[in-house]
Structures are given as C-alpha cells and as structure tokens.
Amino acid sequence: MNSQDQWHGEIDDPVLSEALKLFKTNVDAWSEAACQRPRQVVKTARHTWRLAAGWALGCALAVGCVAGGVFEHQHRQEMAKMAALKAAQRAAHERLVAAEAAAATQQARDQQPAVKRATAVKSRANSDQDLLAAVDNEVSRQVPAAMEPLAQLMDDGGSQ
C-alpha cells in the first residue's frame, strides 16, 4: 500500500484535500525544474596545470642533472688528456736534457788527457776502498756507537 492509497478517499475535508493536491503539484513542478536546469561543473583546470607544472619541473631537473653529469665527464676527460700531454712534454724535455748532459760528458772525456783519466780512476778506487773499510768497521762492531758507554759498564760490572 503506497502513500496515495492511504490518503485517497480518507480525507473528508475538501479544503484540506485541495491544499494537499496543490502542494503535491508544486513539489512535482519544483522537482522537474531542478532536474531540467543546467548543472555547474567544477573546473579542474587549476589542479591540471599544477600537475603539468610539476611534471615539467621534474623533467627539467632530471635533464639538468644528466647534462651536468655529461659535462663533468667530458671535463675530466679533457683534463686527463692535458695532463698526459704535459707529462709527455716533460718526459721529452728530460730526455733532451739527459742527452745534452751525456753529450757534454762525452765531449769532456774526449778532451781529457789519458793521464788525468787514470788518476781519476785511481782516486775513485781509493775512495771506494776507504768507503768499504768504513762500512766494514761499522758492521764489525759488537755494539752500536751510541751504546758503547753502556757496553763498557757491563764489562766493568761483570769483572767485579
């Protein structure tokens, strides 16, 4: 049983019945008008451009990082090439200086008389022998030079 069946025929007052019919007609008309009127759509453009701006800034940041890494890698390669070039130049200069020194030494040897060369060889041999004698003396010590006073005390203390 619906609401119309309950009230149909039970209202004895014609004025009240007429008022209810008018009220029902007005409510139906209002509902129909509300359904027929155009609805307002909430714009999401604000949210959309924020999302697009966020993606754009993120992409720009990523591209900047990649470009910075590539630039740094290239810069390091150029610096390594420059360092290798400087090292090669330095080595070439050192070889040139060594060759000039060897040529000067050879020229001095050629100009030096044979007697002076023999004397130089003998003096080098004597200095080598003196050096070997000094090394032999240092190696043959029982106690290092700094410890000799203590070693003498030990010898003196043991005999008493």
- Tell me the longest C-alpha to C-alpha distance in the chain: 162
pLDDT of residue 112: 63
Structure tokens at 19: 């008022």
Q: How many residues does the chain have?
A: 160
Q: Could you read off the pLDDT of 40-56 as tens digits, one per residue?
A: 776 655 677 788 889 99
pLDDT of residue 32: 92
Decide: helix, strand or coil at residue 143.
Answer: coil
Alpha carbon 23 to its chain's center: 80
Q: Mark the ranges of the chain whose per-residue pLDDT is less than 50.
A: 1-2, 4-7, 160
**Burial class of residue 17 in the structure, from the number of CB atoms within 10 Å of its CB (0-12 exposed, 13-18 middle, 19+ buried):** middle
Please state the φ and ψ torsions of residue 11, each to the nearest 5 degrees.
-85, 120
DSSP state of 145: G
